[in-house]
């Protein structure tokens, strides 16, 4: 709690901003309705009565809405697309939506699944899809599952494990972090990922590093191609240069307003009213700042962040993995 008061108040203020933005307005009617074709407001109860009047069941026939056909089902045999019936529905449906095209499948995982620097498979294909993030092995297994759902046989898909030799600039962009050689190596070590051949520059930045990695080899029309969906580059934003100024936040003033007693592990007897008042003030200040400077700002524009740089030049058909360590 001590850390939150001393160093994280600006973030609590930010949370208050979003709470205020999504809070329901007092002017919203307690009973929402919808608009019919003629523009007349109709309550949910009235609409329900109308629909029930139109869907009176015939004698001996179960009640159903007239004019609606049979439930839609995903064909798994008529086109040869999404032919697997043993994989999760989410995997089969996504494969079908990507036309069971290996290049579209690779592009989807590359562009939409964030990389987590952890060793081995941790979530599996479905968990990786639902979380929208996973390790190199997780992302490779997701691509493999989507290809299997698309009709590729196990003989056409194989996993590969080896080392990539990457520059500090490449790894910095891959992880979306500052190029600090020792810090980057610690990130991989903390995730259990083997590294070797570390070379640092004189200023402490990373020159090159060999990183253990997993990818796929996929046989398409008799040729094997390397699909490496997890090695991707990011664009980063730094956020507002001085967020504390935009919030009107002063650590000394905030601590003074909070009062209470602080020890090494906790804080107690704070003045709740003044703390809440300060947080509301910070939120209002930030809202005013955003309206005045960038009304279309995203969270990344405010606090900083990273996004995957979309794949270009697809289909990307490499017979070997680029940057493979010798």
- Helix-helix angle 89-97:136-149, to 10 degrees: 70
pLDDT attached to residue 264? 87
Residue with tokens 């005045």: 292
Instruction: Say which residues have a Cβ less than 8 Å from residue 182's Cβ, sequence separation at least 6.
Output: 200, 204
Residue 96 near residue 79, CB atoms below 8 Å:
no
Residue with tokens 């017979």: 319
pLDDT attached to residue 257? 92
What pTM was computed for the model? 0.66
Rounded distance between C-alpha atoms, residue 62 and residue 71, angstroms: 15
**Which residues sit opposite 225 in a β-bridge?**
218
pLDDT attached to residue 84? 65
Q: Per-residue pLDDT tens for 205-223? A: 999 999 999 999 999 999 9
Q: How far is CA 83 from CA 129, 150, 154, 283, in A?
A: 19, 6, 14, 52
Helix (H, G, I), strand (E, B) or coil at 83: coil
Asked if the 89-238 domain carries CATH number 1.10.357, the reply is no
Residue 123 near residue 323, CB atoms below 8 Å:
no
Residue with tokens 């009176």: 56
pLDDT attached to residue 207? 97
pLDDT attached to residue 240? 87
**Which residues sit opposite 292 in a β-bridge?**
none
Rounded distance between C-alpha atoms, residue 95 and residue 89, angstroms: 10
Pairing of strands 305-308, 234-237: antiparallel
Q: Per-residue pLDDT tens for 223-253? A: 999 999 999 998 888 888 888 999 999 999 9
Nearest to 253 by CA among 278, 276, 271: 278
41, 43, 48, 54: CA torsion to nearest 10: -20
Per-residue pLDDT of the chain (326 residues; tens, 9 = 90+): 444 444 444 554 555 544 454 444 444 333 334 334 444 555 656 665 665 555 454 554 444 333 334 443 444 433 447 666 788 999 999 999 999 999 999 999 999 999 999 999 999 999 999 999 999 999 999 999 999 999 999 899 999 999 999 999 999 999 988 899 999 999 999 999 999 999 999 999 999 999 999 999 999 999 999 999 999 998 888 888 888 999 999 999 999 999 998 888 988 899 999 999 999 999 999 999 999 998 998 888 888 878 888 887 778 888 998 899 98
Rounded distance between C-alpha atoms, residue 207 and residue 196, angstroms: 13
Residue 215 near residue 321, CB atoms below 8 Å:
yes
Cis bond leading into 315, ω under 30°? yes
Question: Can you say how many angstroms the Cα of residue 218 is from the centroid of all Cα atoms in its chain?
Answer: 26
């Amino acid at each position: 709690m001590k850390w939150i008061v001393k160093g994280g108040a600006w973030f609590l203020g930010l949370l208050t901003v979003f709470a205020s933005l999504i809070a329901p307005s007092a002017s919203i009617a307690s009973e929402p309705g919808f608009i019919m074709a003629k523009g007349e407001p109709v309550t949910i109860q009235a609409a329900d009565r109308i629909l029930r009047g139109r869907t009176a069941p015939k004698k001996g026939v179960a009640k159903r809405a007239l004019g609606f056909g049979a439930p839609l089902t995903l064909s798994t045999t008529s086109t040869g697309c999404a032919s697997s019936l043993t994989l999760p529905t989410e995997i089969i449906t996504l494969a079908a939506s990507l036309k069971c095209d290996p290049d579209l499948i690779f592009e989807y995982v590359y562009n939409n699944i964030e990389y987590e620097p952890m060793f081995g498979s941790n979530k599996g294909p479905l968990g990786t899809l639902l979380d929208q993030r996973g390790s190199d092995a997780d992302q490779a297994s997701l691509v493999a599952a989507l290809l299997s759902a698309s009709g590729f046989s196990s003989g056409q898909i194989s996993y590969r494990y080896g080392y990539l030799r990457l520059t500090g600039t490449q790894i910095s962009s891959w992880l979306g972090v500052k190029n600090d050689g020792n810090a980057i190596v610690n990130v991989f070590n903390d995730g259990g990922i083997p590294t070797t051949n570390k070379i640092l520059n004189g200023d402490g930045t990373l020159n090159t590093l060999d990183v253990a990695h997993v990818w796929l080899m996929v046989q398409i029309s008799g040729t094997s191609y390397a699909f490496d969906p997890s090695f991707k580059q990011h664009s980063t934003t730094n956020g507002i240069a001085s967020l504390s100024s935009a919030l009107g936040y002063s650590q000394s003033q905030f601590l003074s307003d909070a009062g209470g007693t602080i020890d090494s592990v906790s804080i107690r007897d704070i003045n709740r009213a003044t703390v809440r008042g300060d947080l509301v003030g910070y939120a209002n200040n930030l809202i005013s700042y955003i309206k005045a400077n960038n009304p279309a700002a995203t969270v990344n524009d405010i606090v900083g962040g990273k996004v995957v740089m979309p794949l270009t030049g697809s289909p990307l058909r490499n017979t070997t993995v680029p940057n493979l360590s010798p």
